């Protein structure tokens, strides 16, 4: 059994235990394997261990990796999620190659993605990124602007609004983590109850990573994004 396979089993066990502790069914939370900076061989190892959904931050790198993974061969089609910022000059690549985008925070980007999504592909699944910390260097809309953006995005023809995503700052302990993550859950609940047309598939709270997975599931996350817990420590180029 490979290291990645072992790590995946451990992460899945953590998810199941966290769901049980929160009184939720074990299948209530999907696992997104964050494969940024890792090569196609690592993705293939995870795919052979049963992982199907992969998250990438760097769009050009991801598109090249997708082709290499296809060339290596995997037993079933993979689902690719863009979880990094989408610059205007990269919207076509995202629209043509990804299945999901978690980081939508501008109507201009949403319009370009909708316009550039090929007709032969299903609608692009999207989440509104919310910045609950208020950090100026972080992506996402302020919580009080999320509903307005979501209602506009929901009406774009080649997008399907699925939910909310956030990347809060690291917190020193589980209780503090949970308190911050609860603020994201409140935004999710607000949008789900007050959304309107185009919110029929609004069911995804993309929240939690390797370090705060349990707190995120306690707060109601339906999709956790785990990278180092599956693939190991990252080594970024200088």
**Amino acid 235: pLDDT:** 65
Which residues in the chain land under pLDDT 50? Answer: none
Alpha carbon 11 to chain centroid, angstroms: 16
Domain annotation for the chain: domains and CATH numbers: 21-202+215-231 (3.20.20.10)
- 230's tokens: 């599956």
Orientation of helix 174-194 relative to helix 146-154, angle to 10°: 50
Instruction: Tell me how far apart the alpha carbons of residues 232 and 80 are, in angstroms, rounded to a whole number.
Output: 20
Per-residue confidence (pLDDT) for residue 188, from 0 to 100: 98
Residue 90: per-residue pLDDT: 97
Tell the burial category of 99 from Cβ atoms under 10 Å away from its Cβ (0-12, 13-18, 19+): middle
pLDDT attached to residue 219:
95
Per-residue pLDDT, 162: 98
Evaluate whether 219 touches 178 at the Cβ level (below 8 Å). Answer: yes
- pLDDT on residue 238: 53
DSSP 3-state assignment of 126?
strand
pLDDT score, position 138: 78
Residue 83 sits at the vertex; the CA angle it makes with 148 and 162, to the nearest 5 degrees, is 45
DSSP secondary structure, 45-73, as one string: HHHHTT--EEEES-HHHHHHHHHHHHHH-
pLDDT of residue 215: 93
| Ramachandran angles phi, psi of 190, nearest 5° | -60, -45
pLDDT at 34: 98
Helices 40-48 and 59-72, axial angle in degrees (round to 10): 60
Q: What is the pLDDT of residue 61?
A: 95
With beta carbons less than 8 A apart as the criterion, state whether 139 and 166 touch.
no
Strand partners, 100: 81, 125
């Amino acid at each position: 059994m490979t290291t990645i396979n072992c790590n995946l089993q451990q992460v899945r066990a953590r998810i199941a235990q966290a769901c049980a502790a929160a009184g939720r069914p074990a299948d209530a939370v999907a696992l997104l394997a964050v494969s940024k900076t890792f090569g196609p061989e690592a993705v293939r190892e995870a795919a052979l261990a049963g992982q199907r959904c992969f998250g990438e931050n760097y769009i050009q790198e991801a598109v090249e990796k997708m082709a290499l993974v296809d060339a290596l061969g995997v037993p079933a089609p993979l689902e690719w999620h863009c979880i990094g910022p989408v610059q205007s000059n990269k919207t076509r690549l995202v629209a043509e190659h990804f299945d999901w985008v978690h980081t939508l925070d501008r109507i201009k980007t949403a319009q370009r993605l909708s316009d550039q999504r090929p007709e032969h592909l299903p609608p692009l699944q999207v989440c509104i990124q919310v910045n609950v910390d208020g950090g100026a260097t972080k992506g996402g809309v302020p919580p009080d602007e999320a509903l307005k953006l979501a209602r506009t995005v929901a009406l774009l023809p080649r997008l399907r609004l699925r939910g909310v995503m956030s990347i809060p700052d690291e917190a020193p302990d589980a209780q503090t983590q949970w308190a911050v993550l609860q603020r994201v859950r409140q935004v999710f609940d607000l949008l789900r109850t007050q959304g309107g047309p185009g919110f029929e598939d609004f069911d995804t709270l993309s929240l939690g990573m390797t370090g705060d997975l349990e707190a995120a599931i306690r707060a109601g996350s339906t999709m956790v994004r785990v990278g180092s817990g599956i693939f190991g420590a990252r080594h970024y180029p200088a």
